[in-house]
């Protein structure tokens, strides 16, 4: 899974620390392959309820070097008596990993109660065959699955579709297959990207999961750069525990800053806070401790952006496709081309001197269809940095700051507009106030675990009425230098 670090030091449960041979970077990328840090593996093993089960059959899909199986076996041995048995089936495709995995699992068999089998080959194909034959033997499953997109025409997609699983990434496919292979009452613990929690691409996977299992717990890492410092991580990861066929009850939400779990906290929340009853998309929201009051608790925030009478679109100009029209500095016949880097501390800075990107684009018959007429707009960055204070960063486009009759928006921006035309000034200013409020950003983080903010995400946000937004806009005109705290009070206090 691409969001996890590949740790060189990998601790065996029954011996000294071993130096694990890392997979070459190109091989890792091909397989979507990253190894599980020891502390995370141990934490995942601790999530299972093992005390009342005498004979355990464990599935480890995408086992890598066996860290998860080893951690599970260590916990099982600490809890079970002599006449109980543990069987481990570890699936792995990569021959280099299997060279490490086999002796590691074999060493577990020094305890005569434990038997292991390394299943060499394609987990998706093998799992689908077992599902078709109704072979569901596993009591537990533990996963750090590969993280890689799969195309609609790929064999993996077709095989999963043949057993009723529709998804777009290997990680969600591995989880769905593993869940289907469990007995009723079986438990699954997986560390996966949080991207499945929202958006249309994972809707079928969310339905598959929620139809077959109860969510028992979800763990979040509050700091991505501390937990996974070795990787350029754009995804937050969660550790999720599911129980197949169980009745859904409260969900344990736990958090830690990083993979040391030194500041672990947990709380129980109602399932209705996780998946809203009337939400046909079945978004999985993970309540933030800092959200008080919540947008969902305020009746005035019951609109969607289309109800306000505005639209949001991704910036239409993809620069590498329009190279011959781009200009580093504005020239006669050109118009501003705005990138995210033109927005600094909530202000538009154009043109930027010594800018590495073009500041302008020629206006002509080939480019005109991609341009917007000069006026008030709201620009929202599509990507935030890892630890930026806000995910949603909105900035006002004021026509007074731009000299020409048209504007170009680059593809890494979202643009709020009306029919590809400008917004009324007070409405534009009000949208900026609202979108930059902490209560909105916190709400967004409940169901969105990556740094990307797409137009689809903004369409899913709750909004106040158009009239309320205009009031926010008039307020911002009276208080142009309002602090973040003052903005938060104005928006959160609105009734």
Q: Which of 210, 220, 145, 135 is nearest to 175 (CA)?
A: 145
Cross-strand bridge partners of residue 450: 235
Classify residue 281 by burial, with Cβ atoms within 10 Å: 0-12, 13-18, 19+.
middle
Q: Are 470 and 426 a contacting pair, CB within 8 Å?
A: yes
Which residue positions in the chain have pLDDT lower than 50?
1-33, 225-234, 290-293, 387
pLDDT at 142: 98
**Whether 195 and 317 share a structural domain:** no
In this structure, the dihedral spanned by the alpha carbons of residues 324, 328, 334 and 339, taken in order and rounded to 10 degrees, is: 100
pLDDT at 82: 74
SS3 47: coil
**Whether 236 and 365 share a structural domain:** no
Q: Are 60 and 91 a contacting pair, CB within 8 Å?
A: yes
CATH number, domain containing residue 21 = 3.40.50.150
**Whether 328 and 259 share a structural domain:** no
**Whether 487 and 452 share a structural domain:** yes
**Whether 214 and 336 share a structural domain:** no
Cis? peptide before 379, omega within 30° of 0:
no
pLDDT at 131: 96
Is 295 within the bounds of a domain? Answer: no
**Whether 150 and 71 share a structural domain:** yes
Cis? peptide before 236, omega within 30° of 0:
no
Is 103 within the bounds of a domain? Answer: yes
Is 15 within the bounds of a domain? Answer: yes
Q: Which of 401, 406, 400, 469 is nearest to 432 (CA)?
A: 469
Of 254, 287, 320, the residue that ends a domain is 287
Of 287, 319, 343, the residue that ends a domain is 287
Q: Which of 94, 142, 140 is nearest to 119 (CA)?
A: 94
The pTM assigned to this predicted structure is 0.68
Q: Are 336 and 375 a contacting pair, CB within 8 Å?
A: no
Which residue is listed with tokens 């073009």?
A: 358
Helix ranges restricted to H, 436-483: 438-447, 455-460, 466-478
Classify residue 248 by burial, with Cβ atoms within 10 Å: 0-12, 13-18, 19+.
middle
Of 253, 287, 321, the residue that ends a domain is 287
End-to-end CA distance of the chain: 44
Q: Are 90 and 116 a contacting pair, CB within 8 Å?
A: yes
**Whether 100 and 141 share a structural domain:** yes
Which residue is listed with tokens 């170009």?
A: 408
Q: Which of 204, 214, 184 is nearest to 274 (CA)?
A: 214
**Whether 319 and 204 share a structural domain:** no
**Number of folded domains that form the chain:** 2
Domain that holds residue 180: 9-287
Exposure string of 209-241, with b = 16+ CB inside 10 Å and e = fewer, is bbebbbbbbbbbbeebeebbeebebbbbbbbbb
**Whether 159 and 260 share a structural domain:** yes
CA distances from 445 to 3, 64, 250, 287, 442 (A): 18, 31, 20, 8, 5
Q: Which of 383, 412, 407, 410 is nearest to 397 (CA)?
A: 407
CA distances from 286 to 214, 447, 453 (A): 15, 6, 17
Q: Are 418 and 309 a contacting pair, CB within 8 Å?
A: yes
**Whether 413 and 324 share a structural domain:** yes
Is 3 within the bounds of a domain? Answer: no
pLDDT at 386: 54
**Whether 381 and 473 share a structural domain:** yes
Is 2 within the bounds of a domain? Answer: no
């Amino acid at each position: 899974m691409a969001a996890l670090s590949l740790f060189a030091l990998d601790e065996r449960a029954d011996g000294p620390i071993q130096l694990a041979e890392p997979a070459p970077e190109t091989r890792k990328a091909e397989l979507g392959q990253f190894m599980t840090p020891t502390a995370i593996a141990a934490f995942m093993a601790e999530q299972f309820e093992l005390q009342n089960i005498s004979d355990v059959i464990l599935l480890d899909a995408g086992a890598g070097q066996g860290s998860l199986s080893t951690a599970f076996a260590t916990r099982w041995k600490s809890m079970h008596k002599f006449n109980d048995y543990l069987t481990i089936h570890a699936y792995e495709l990569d021959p280099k990993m299997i060279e490490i995995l086999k002796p590691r699992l074999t060493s577990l068999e020094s305890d005569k109660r434990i038997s292991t089998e390394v299943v060499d080959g394609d987990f998706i194909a093998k799992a689908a065959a077992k599902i078709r034959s109704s072979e569901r033997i596993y009591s537990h499953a533990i996963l750090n699955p590969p993280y890689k997109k799969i195309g609609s025409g790929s064999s993996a997609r077709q095989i999963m579709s043949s057993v009723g699983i529709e998804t777009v990434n290997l990680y969600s496919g591995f989880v769905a297959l593993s869940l289907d292979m469990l007995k009723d009452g079986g438990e699954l613990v997986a560390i996966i990207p949080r991207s499945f929690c929202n958006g249309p691409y994972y809707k079928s996977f969310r339905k598959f999961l929620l139809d077959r299992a109860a969510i028992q717990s979800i763990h979040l890492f509050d700091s991505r750069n501390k937990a996974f410092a070795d990787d350029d991580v754009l995804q937050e990861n969660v550790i999720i525990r599911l129980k197949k066929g169980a009745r859904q009850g409260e969900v344990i939400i736990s958090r830690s800053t990083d993979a040391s779990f030194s500041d672990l906290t947990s709380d129980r929340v109602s399932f209705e806070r996780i998946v809203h009853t009337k939400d046909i998309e079945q978004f999985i929201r993970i309540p933030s401790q800092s959200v008080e009051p919540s947008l969902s608790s305020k009746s005035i925030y019951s609109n969607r952006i289309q109800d306000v009478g505005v639209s949001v679109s991704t910036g239409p100009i993809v620069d590498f496709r329009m190279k011959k029209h781009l200009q580093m500095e504005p020239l006669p016949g050109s118009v501003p081309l705005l990138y995210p880097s033109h927005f600094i501390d909530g202000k538009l800075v154009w043109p930027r001197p010594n800018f590495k990107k073009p500041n302008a684009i020629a206006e002509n018959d080939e480019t005109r269809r991609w341009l917007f007429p000069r006026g008030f707009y709201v620009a929202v960055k599509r990507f935030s940095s890892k630890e930026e204070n806000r995910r949603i960063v909105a900035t006002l486009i004021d026509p007074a700051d731009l000299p020409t009759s048209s504007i170009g928006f680059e593809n890494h921006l979202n643009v709020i507009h009306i029919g590809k035309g400008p917004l009324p000034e007070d409405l534009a200013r009000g949208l900026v106030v609202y979108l930059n409020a902490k209560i909105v950003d916190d709400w967004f983080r409940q169901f969105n675990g990556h740094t990307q903010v797409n137009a689809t995400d903004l369409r899913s946000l709750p909004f106040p009425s158009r009239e309320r937004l205009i009031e926010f806009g008039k307020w911002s005109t009276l208080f142009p230098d309002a602090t973040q705290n003052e903005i938060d009070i104005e928006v959160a206090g609105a009734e």
